[in-house]
Structure 1
Amino acid sequence: MTTAWTTHGTTSAALGALAAEEATGALSGERGIVYLSAGRVVHVESAFAPDLGALLTRSGALAPDGWWDAIDRGGTQARVGHRLVDSGRLAAGALEVCHLGALFDAAYFVLAHDARAHRFRPGAVHWLGTVRSVPVDVVVRESGRRRALLDRIWPDPDIDTVPLTRVPGAGAADLPVRRSRTLTQVDGVRTAAQIASALACRTYHILVELRRLAADGLVTAAPPAPEPLAPATQPDGVVWDDPDTALLRRLRAALEAL
């Protein structure tokens, strides 16, 4: 029936209702989309976590050409995962491990605030295809465990999603290797997801290090970008627009991440 989910005020509760119905489709929330097959989670997407392709290619596990070839050949049939394995480009075990990591990372963000779900599309499938399915209750429980751990380290969830900057005088000396590498990527523009992508790391691992850096007084949320000035009209009637600083920063961060 796939209608009971609409009566629930949280995404996790909606997922539970869809799992009970053994529904197949895509549930959209405020921060991402959860894909279900027969009531089990098969994939999760969120703009706040690097996707599977970024993790595979940036880590060196898969050449970018191999990733795009799999999408071109298997995307329309929702068999990209199968294509990667069948072509010999990636071992099944390596794909499964990386896929589960990406799934749980994205699910953390989708369920972090656990607001009401927006929409369910019955029958919708992800182009990746099913690599491995996970019970809904396992995904919800793991997301809650991660949230509780991060809050114990530093109880400010904004660290997970906003651009970050170093506190003046913050240095990487005497820090553990992963924390030091993470700090060097904090530039006032990048978010946790962008830092994770640049380092080819699981987002959750980066969140742990960033919250520890925040707890140590080394990292904080970057100040909001200034609002662009109003267009100035020249005497000849030509209007010159001041550049959108926030857009330029986002473009620079994207180029630096390439």
Structure 2
Amino acid sequence: MPTTRNLLSELAADRATGALHLGGAGTFYLTDGHVTCAESPVAPRVEDLLAACGRVSDQAVRQAMRAAAEGRLGGEVLVTQGVLTRGELEFCVLCAVLDAVYFLFDAPEHGARFRRGERHWLGPQWYFDMTGLLREYKRRRTQLDRTWPSADLDALPVVPVGRVPAQRVVLTSLQWEVVVGADSTATPADLAHRLGRPAYSVLLAVRQLAAAGLLRVPRGEITAAPDPPAAPTTPGALDDTPITRGALDDAPTRPDTRVGALPRRVAGTREIRDAVADGTDTAEAAQWLPLTTGDPADVALLIRLKNALEALT
């Protein structure tokens, strides 16, 4: 039986452009076989993240969607009208896509259908191939398991303990938002939508809080944090040391990269966007597509910047 990953691989091999609908599980949007956007009901959409931080109004989103229905790219409309800078838009799309893909890769493929030519209203902003997306998916799963090796809390209401099991507790801003927003009925996915935060980041924060003994866990669940992994020896390697009851670390997501010169944007990125915006054949313009994986030079750099900013919050 074909899986979601198999379907995506086949569409990538065919250099297909369109939308792969996975029933109620969500949608992948592809351009010339590259994933350019993804949406899952579990994860807040791009417009949800932008609205939560006060960058985009509902009216601006509706105007951009109407422009997209008329054949224009909604993302370009937001940028040209000065609602967002291109960097802000690309950063938010990157976060939302990686967030949604994490949950879509486990979605059942039953009832999946591909609508050729359908595109997301924002238009393509980043290009990912299956190899890179799968690498990021596995890395995130590993990070969650190292923090709290059980997925039972992922779909349960978040319930803080009545008494903190330590003299002192240090929380990141996101962990504090989760604790304050937890009403004993909201699941991690519910909190992500309420807070306007990426669903994976909220899920990681929940597991960190559980590992520190700050959340109620089902009877029979693991009650102690797992042993921390060995300290990284490669410069720039991911440090996934789990949080402790004395101090909680945000453990932001970042790719396993080496520290070196800052990468430069691949020439031609602008040309492919212009070609798509002008309605020309995307297959003809595909030669200008950057060689994208889950961590191409510019995407990896942006993820590193994202993690650095999250670590400061």
TM-score (norm 1): 0.74
CA distance in 2, matches of 1:127, 1:204: 23
CA distance in 2, matches of 1:117, 1:34: 15
Q: Is the 8 A contact 2:158 2:206 kept in 1?
A: no
CA distance in 2, matches of 1:186, 1:171: 18
Aligned partner of 1:184: which letter?
A: V
1:129-168 alignment, distance < 5 Å: 129-168=123-162
| Number of residue-to-residue matches in the alignment | 215
1:80-159 alignment, distance < 5 Å: 80-111=74-105, 113=106, 115-116=108-109, 118-123=111-116, 124-159=118-153
Query: What residue is the counterpart of 2:14 in the other structure?
Result: 21
From 2, 5, 19, the counterpart of 1:12: 5
Query: What residue is the counterpart of 1:207 in the other structure?
Result: 203
- Runs of 4+ with >6 A deviation: none
Query: What residue is the counterpart of 1:47 in the other structure?
Result: 41
Cα root mean square deviation, aligned: 2.6
Give the CA deviation at 1:144: 1.4
Query: What residue is the counterpart of 1:225 in the other structure?
Result: none
Q: Percent identity?
A: 33
Cα distance change on mapping 1:114 and 1:121 into 2, 3 Å: closer
CA distance in 2, matches of 1:187, 1:127: 34
Query: What residue is the counterpart of 1:187 in the other structure?
Result: 183
Gap regions ≥5 residues in structure 1: 1-6, 223-258
Query: What do residues 145-185 of structure 1 show as CA deviations (whole Å, max 9, x unaligned)?
Result: 10111011112224334432223435896232322232111
CA distance in 2, matches of 1:221, 1:34: 34
Cα distance change on mapping 1:129 and 1:18 into 2, 3 Å: same
Query: What residue is the counterpart of 2:170 in the other structure?
Result: 175
Give the CA deviation at 1:220: 4.5
Cα distance change on mapping 1:86 and 1:185 into 2, 3 Å: same
The 3-state SS of whatever aligns with 1:134 is coil
CA distance in 1, matches of 2:207, 2:113: 33
Q: Is the 8 A contact 1:61 1:90 kept in 2?
A: yes
Q: Is the 8 A contact 1:12 1:114 kept in 2?
A: no
Query: What residue is the counterpart of 1:219 in the other structure?
Result: 215
The 3-state SS of whatever aligns with 1:176 is coil
- Greater strand proportion: 1
The 3-state SS of whatever aligns with 2:190 is helix
Cα distance change on mapping 1:76 and 1:157 into 2, 3 Å: farther
Give the CA deviation at 1:143: 1.2
Cα distance change on mapping 1:78 and 1:42 into 2, 3 Å: farther
CA distance in 1, matches of 2:56, 2:196: 12
The 3-state SS of whatever aligns with 1:164 is coil
The 3-state SS of whatever aligns with 2:202 is helix
The 3-state SS of whatever aligns with 1:204 is helix
Cα distance change on mapping 1:69 and 1:35 into 2, 3 Å: same
TM-score (norm 2): 0.62
The 3-state SS of whatever aligns with 2:159 is strand
Cα distance change on mapping 1:75 and 1:55 into 2, 3 Å: farther
* 2:66 is the counterpart of 1:72: yes
Q: Greater CA deviation, 74-83 or 148-157?
A: 74-83
Query: What do residues 120-158 of structure 1 show as CA deviations (whole Å, max 9, x unaligned)?
Result: 323122222222222222112111110111011112224
Gap regions ≥5 residues in structure 2: 219-313
